[in-house]
């Protein structure tokens, strides 16, 4: 008789090992946390007993005790063998500073502390905190599992703090210690200079002025309870308590985060009738001066100092990504003048438009937005720009529904001048990313071309708006166009004329059948070839087909000392014969 002896295959064994490993990665942390919770709870009763003893001592003596031995609880056992509040393996300490009145209990072998702040403590009154050794995953996990909310700073050096009970109302000891080290240097109080350090609310403010007689030369360095340092420019802002408030447009405050990024507070629009900034912006730059974030909010309500109390809904945006480092903007309507180091030839930028904004200025939901991708050549010129327009945004800031794509492509001369650009709006793409339906909106479907002379000056510019298109680079049917030719004043690089011809209608073969009225301009200069002496505009009043049948309007304006001489301006409303080369009425 043949007996089949079946065993496990290597694959089955490996699967079993993997499953056991996965279960272990889940079970071990859970087991550790359960054990840690059990050990941590042994600190709670002793800490509460000590805190109660401190409150009793306060009632009897008018102050908290600075010595554990003076309290009516003790370590170990008393002479009668009674077990007191502090058991084996626990250590306790108390704070004797009015700013920090607390009871702290630690347990041997644990990297966590249990802290109760007393009723009369100036910071964190009646709060309970869990401390975890920094960079210790197990200790941090325990505080989080207990429901702790992380705050800046700590009571114990080398630890992080989590609030178990309370709202974290106070300044951590480590932060205040750092603040107490903020002083004025002797050199900052010499000559016309002045320096002063003051404590306002939960912040320390160092005021440094280059001229003590002129407050506008001052800078305020605000060290706040979140361990941030804000640099506030008195020339563009004012202080209200420990808050820097804009008094005009521009950058009025700066700070640097823990990664070294520079965060600038800017006022984009100032309402002089309310003496407040109506458009608040925050822009972030990394160490390479690359703009990586840019946000804007619109203020709806202010207090008497100009602080924004609430924000307009359905306005404002959050944007983020990378930019190009030259002054060149990206191709198309949504070019972003930002910066990047060009280590990569592709950059990205996203703008999400706010739907709801809370009173802290946080955009809590988005109504729509766009996602831009740009490609750059070796000369740092933008050769491709695409914007994905989204009509719906998810909670994690992703595009939920695409409404259209806008794509721009550019070609450049060897000298880096834009030679040709096409812009297309795509309504749908296939699975390979190819456009299957182009928009017929001529405002978002057009192409431009440029020519240049040997001095790199533009000699012609043309723009053709597309009524229809079948690909990303060429119009199949024009709807309108505008063509401008330029004449320059030699090496002086002054434009003598800009003659523009517009077409408002094309036939099926893309031949212009109806000109549109456009303005051409002409300039004259003095013998030095740089001082402008006159300015003339010429425009056809009405075209019939390709013929100007309504006469031309010619306006001649002398220029004296750099200003228009309006008293001697000459206007001819209906000139029948015009020299278009020189911009002169020949009637």
3-state secondary structure 514-541: EEECCEEEEEEECCCCCCEEEEEEEEEC
CA distances to 44, 87, 90, 150, 159 from 37, rounded to whole Å, are 11, 17, 15, 18, 18
The CA distance from 224 to 231, in Å, is 11
Q: In the block, which residue shows the tokens 């960079």? A: 135
161 falls within a domain: yes
Q: Are 403 and 441 in contact (CB under 8 A)?
A: no
User: Which residues, 6 or more positions from 169, have their beta carbon under 8 angstroms from its beta carbon?
Assistant: 123, 124, 125, 127
* pLDDT over 70 (residue 8): no
* pLDDT over 80 (residue 339): no
* pLDDT over 70 (residue 222): yes
52 falls within a domain: yes
**What is the percentage of the chain residues whose pLDDT exceeds 90?**
53
Q: What is the SS3 assignment for 37?
A: helix
- 435 or 507, which is more confident: 507
* pLDDT over 70 (residue 56): yes
- Give the total residue count for the chain: 587
429 falls within a domain: no
pLDDT in tens, 296-323: 999 999 999 999 999 999 999 999 987 5
pLDDT value, residue 79: 43
Query: 564-572 — which CB contacts under 8 Å span 24+ positions?
Result: 564/535
The CA distance from 140 to 149, in Å, is 11
pTM for the model stands at 0.64
Place 177 in a pLDDT band, splitting at 50, 70 and 90. Answer: confident
Place 6 in a pLDDT band, splitting at 50, 70 and 90. Answer: low
pLDDT in tens, 417-461: 999 999 988 888 888 878 888 887 777 889 999 999 988 899 999
The parent domain of residue 152 ranges over: 28-176
Place 70 in a pLDDT band, splitting at 50, 70 and 90. Answer: confident
Mean pLDDT of the chain: 86
323 falls within a domain: no
Q: Are 334 and 345 in contact (CB under 8 A)?
A: no
- 519 or 38, which is more confident: 519
Q: In the block, which residue shows the tokens 């924004």? A: 308
16 falls within a domain: no
Instruction: Extract the tokens encoding 444.
Output: 């978002």
3-state secondary structure 181-213: CCCCCHHHHCCCCEEEEEEECCEEEEEEECCCC
Q: What is the SS3 assignment for 34?
A: helix
What order do you get walking across the sheet with 90-94 strand by strand?
90-94, 102-107, 112-117, 128-133, 159-165, 149-151
Instruction: Extract the tokens encoding 229.
Output: 């340092």
Q: Are 172 and 155 in contact (CB under 8 A)?
A: yes
pLDDT value, residue 78: 44
227 falls within a domain: no
**What is the percentage of the chain residues whose pLDDT exceeds 70?**
88
Between β-strands 237-240 and 218-223, what pairing exists: parallel, antiparallel or unpaired? unpaired
Q: In the block, which residue shows the tokens 């955009």? A: 363
Nearest to 579 by CA among 513, 504, 497: 497
Instruction: Extract the tokens encoding 183.
Output: 């002083």
CA distances to 279, 306, 310, 408 from 303, rounded to whole Å, are 15, 5, 10, 45
pLDDT in tens, 344-358: 477 889 999 999 999
Phi, psi of 249 (to 5 degrees): -80, 160
- 282 or 341, which is more confident: 282
Q: In the block, which residue shows the tokens 């296939």? A: 430
165 falls within a domain: yes
* Average pLDDT of span 194-211: 88
| Domain count across the chain | 1
326 falls within a domain: no
């Amino acid at each position: 008789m043949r007996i089949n002896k079946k065993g496990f295959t290597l694959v089955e064994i490996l699967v079993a090992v993997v499953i056991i490993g996965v279960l272990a990665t889940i079970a071990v942390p859970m087991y550790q946390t359960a054990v840690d919770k059990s050990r941590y709870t042994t600190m709670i009763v002793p800490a509460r007993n000590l805190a109660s003893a401190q409150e009793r001592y306060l009632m009897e003596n008018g102050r908290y005790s600075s010595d554990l031995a003076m309290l009516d609880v003790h370590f170990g056992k008393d002479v009668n063998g009674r077990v007191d509040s502090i058991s084996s393996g626990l250590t306790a300490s108390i704070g004797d500073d009015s700013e920090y009145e607390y009871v702290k209990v630690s347990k041997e072998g644990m990297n966590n502390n249990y802290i109760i702040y007393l009723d009369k403590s100036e910071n964190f009154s009646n709060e309970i905190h869990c401390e975890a050794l920094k960079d210790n995953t197990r200790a941090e996990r325990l505080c989080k599992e207990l429901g702790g909310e992380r705050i800046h700073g700590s009571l114990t050096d080398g630890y992080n703090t989590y609030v178990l009970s309370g709202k974290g109302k106070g300044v951590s000891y480590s932060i205040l210690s750092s603040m107490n080290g903020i002083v004025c240097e002797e050199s900052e109080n010499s000559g016309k200079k002045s320096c002063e350090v003051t404590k306002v609310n939960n912040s320390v403010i160092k005021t440094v002025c280059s001229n003590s007689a002129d407050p506008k030369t001052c800078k305020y360095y605000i060290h706040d309870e979140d361990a941030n340092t804000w640099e506030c420019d008195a020339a563009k802002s004012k202080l209200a308590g420990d808050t820097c408030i804009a008094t005009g447009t521009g950058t009025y405050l700066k700070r640097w985060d823990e990664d070294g990024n520079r965060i600038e507070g800017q006022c984009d629009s100032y309402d002089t009738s309310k003496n407040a900034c109506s458009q608040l912006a925050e822009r972030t730059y990394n160490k390479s001066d690359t703009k990586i974030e840019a946000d804007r909010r619109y203020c709806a309500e202010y207090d008497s100092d100009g602080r924004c109390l609430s924000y307009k809904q359905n306005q404002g945006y959050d944007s983020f990504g990378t930019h190009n480092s030259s002054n060149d903007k990206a191709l198309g309507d949504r070019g972003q003048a930002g910066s990047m180091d060009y280590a990569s030839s592709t950059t990205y930028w996203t703008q999400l438009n706010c739907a709801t904004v809370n009173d802290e200025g946080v955009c809590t939901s988005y109504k729509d937005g766009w996602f831009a991708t740009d490609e750059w050549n070796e000369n740092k010129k933008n050769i491709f720009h695409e914007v994905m327009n989204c009509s719906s945004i998810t909670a994690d800031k992703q595009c939920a529904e695409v409404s259209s794509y806008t794509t721009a492509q550019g070609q450049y001369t060897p000298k880096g001048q834009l030679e040709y650009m096409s812009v297309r709006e795509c309504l749908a793409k296939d699975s390979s990313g190819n456009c299957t339906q182009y928009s017929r909106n001529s405002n978002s479907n057009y192409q431009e071309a440029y020519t240049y002379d040997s001095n790199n000056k533009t000699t012609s510019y043309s723009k053709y708006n597309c009524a229809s298109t079948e690909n990303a680079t060429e119009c199949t049917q024009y709807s309108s166009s505008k063509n401008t030719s330029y004449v320059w004043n030699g090496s002086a690089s002054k434009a003598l004329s800009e003659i523009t011809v517009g077409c408002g209608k094309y036939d099926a073969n893309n031949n212009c059948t109806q000109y549109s009225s456009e303005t051409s301009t002409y300039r004259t200069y003095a013998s030095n070839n740089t001082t402008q002496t006159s300015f003339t505009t010429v425009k056809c009043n009405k075209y019939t087909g390709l013929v100007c049948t309504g006469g031309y309007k010619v306006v001649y304006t002398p220029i004296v000392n750099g200003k228009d001489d309006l008293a001697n301006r000459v206007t001819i409303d209906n000139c029948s014969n015009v020299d278009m080369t020189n911009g002169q009425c020949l009637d």
